[in-house]
Each structure stands twice: as C-alpha cells, then as structure tokens.
Amino acid sequence: MTHEIAVIPGDGIGQEVTPAAVDVLAAIDSVDFDFVEADAGDAVKAETGEALPQETRDIAADADATLFGAAGETAADVILPLREVVGSFANVRPARSYPGLDAVQPDTDIVFIRENTEGVYSGIESEITEGVTTLTRVITEDASAKIAEFGFDYARQNDFDDVTIAHKANVMRETDGLFLDAASAVGEDRGADYDTALMDALAMHLVMTPEEYDVIICPNLAGDVLSDLAAGLVGGLGLLPSANVGEENALFEPVHGSAPDIAGEGIANPSAMILSAAMLLDHLGYDEEGDRVRAAVESVLESGPKTPDLGGDAGTDEVAAAVVDAL
Ligand code: GGG
C-alpha cells in the first residue's frame, strides 16, 4: 500500500528541515510513500496574495497525512487553517531530554496535550477604535472534554502515571473555569489519578522539577507557551516534534517556527522535523519504523554530527544523512 503524504515546507528553515524528514521517510524500505509537495506561507502570499492556496488545502485534505515545516509572519493564515483542514483537535508535543546533550534539566520526559481548535487562537480579534483592540477567547465544554479524553487515553496507552490539567481558572473564571470543570469531570469519570495546576505556577515547577510531570493537558495558548518552555529545558526548539491529531487525518510539524535568523544558512537542526516524521509513522500504524527513526535520531544526537544549536558545526543535510545511515 502506498501512502500519500502532503509535504508543505512553508517558510524559513521549514524549506531546509522538511526535505531532511522526507529523505528519512524515503529511506524506510518497508513503507511506500508518494510525496506530494504543496506551497504555503509568506513567499506564496507575496507572490499570489494568498498564504494558503486552495490547491494546498485540497492536497492536505486528500492525503493520508501531512508533513508541515514552519510558518512565518502568515502563521495565523497557514498553520491554524491547515490544522482545521485535517480536522485536528489535539496537538501532541513531547519534550524529552536525550543522552549526550547538554540540557538544563536532563531528566525531562513530558508530553503536552494542547487543545488545538479554540482559546485565544480562535481568530476573533478586532480593533474597536484606534489604540483599542480586543480578542475573544472561546472555550467550549465539548472541546475541553474532548482534549481531556484524548489526554487521559494518551497517558494510559503510553504508560504515563501523572496527568496534570493546566488552567488559570482563578482569573479567567468563565473560560478556564469551564475548561477545568470539563477536563476534571473526564478524570473523575475515569477514576483517574490527576492533578490540576495554575499555569503560571506550573511554568515555575516545570523549570525546577520537570521530572514530576508526565502528561499535561492544556488550553491552546498555554500548550503553545509551556511546550516552548520545556524545549528550553532539554536543549532547544530543534528537538521538539509534534502531531496535530484529528479523527482520521493528521498533520505533523516541528514545534519550532521559521527561525528567520538562521534561515537559508543550511544549519537548522532537522531533529524536530525528523521526529515529527516518526510520529507520522506511528499514526499510519508503523510503530516499529517510528521507533527505528527515533533510535536513529537519538544515536546521532549522542554521537554527532550536531548542528550549531547543539554545540556542533554540522549542517542540516549532514545530520539528516547521518540519521539515514543510522537507520
Ligand atoms: N512548525 C510550527 C510553526 O511553524 N510554528 C509557528 C507558530 O507561530 N505556531 C503557532 C502554533 O503552533 O499555534
């Protein structure tokens, strides 16, 4: 069986790390892929006036899964609608430390389960008058319960003991009050062990004692911010993959953005993108192949070559080739 994969490199270093992940997938003999490349992002908008062409939406909707690189200035017009196109409601962001890498917290193994459809990323913003703007934060009981169900299932299926529900219900009483109640009700229904945590205090505890956390269920913005914080604990954004999971379709992307400061230099760390490709393999049912890719990335992270963000001087292509060799 051949799997059709939409490949959307997007902006900046997305153009460099996405081909690296495609090379790794193509090197897996036991799975057949048909890669269909599509455009999106700042450059496409400059050229055509549209950051996410209908053709790209259709390719992602029809594919078995999508690999997405990075969004730049047009992120709100590209990655948010693309997540909608594939029907994703959960953004799974694992943050773990690796042997052989300098990490602020070398005993970190946390998976953020981020609600992916609402919160402050609902896109309901307006300028009331000059100098006055508003944003509507949407939280629904259904979406909050759905992400909690996904998070508790994920913890059970992956043998994680601790589930934490992140919120700020003492200030955002209506919206995060609802998120907290709906997510807690799921935990109660399942007789699960879980904690709740105010997201600001949680940020501090994550820095000081990340080993105390396994799975963290978060509203949209909190998941985006806390997972970047966790990237800082384990060696940087070049290491964090993610899966945007829907009922049937899914999109896989590194947690990092387009990194305009290093774009075009060929030195971006492809690990996050390749690890996202490993999550794509899991999603398609190729768990063994996904594990092989993770093991190959882990061995290269330990023994090199390494990109400059990890203290080395290798380029993106050299690291990707080393991962293919390790496979
Ligand atoms: N590959 C992830 C990416 O491009 N991130 C840029 C960004 O702004 N993302 C917002 C989000 O993840 O919701």
CA distance 219 to 206: 17
Q: Which of 18, 79, 82 is the best mutation target for the ligand 1 pocket, counting ligand atoms within 8 Å of the beta carbon and taking the most?
A: 79
Portion of the chain with pLDDT greater than 90, in percent: 99
User: ∠ CA(290), CA(97), CA(282), 5° rounding?
Assistant: 15
pLDDT tens across 210-265, in order?
A: 999 999 999 999 999 999 999 999 999 999 999 999 999 999 999 999 999 999 99
Å from CA of 193 to ligand 1 middle: 31
Catalytic residue among 200, 287, 291, 313: 200
Catalytic residue among 11, 39, 42, 121: 121
CA distance 299 to 206: 26
CA distance 90 to 21: 22
Strand 215-218 to 65-70 pairing: unpaired
The predicted model scores a pTM of: 0.97
- The reply to whether 98 belongs to the active site is no
Average pLDDT over residues 84-105: 97
Residue 305: asked if its preceding bond is cis (omega within 30°), the reply is yes
- The reply to whether 121 belongs to the active site is yes
Q: What is the mean pLDDT of the chain?
A: 97
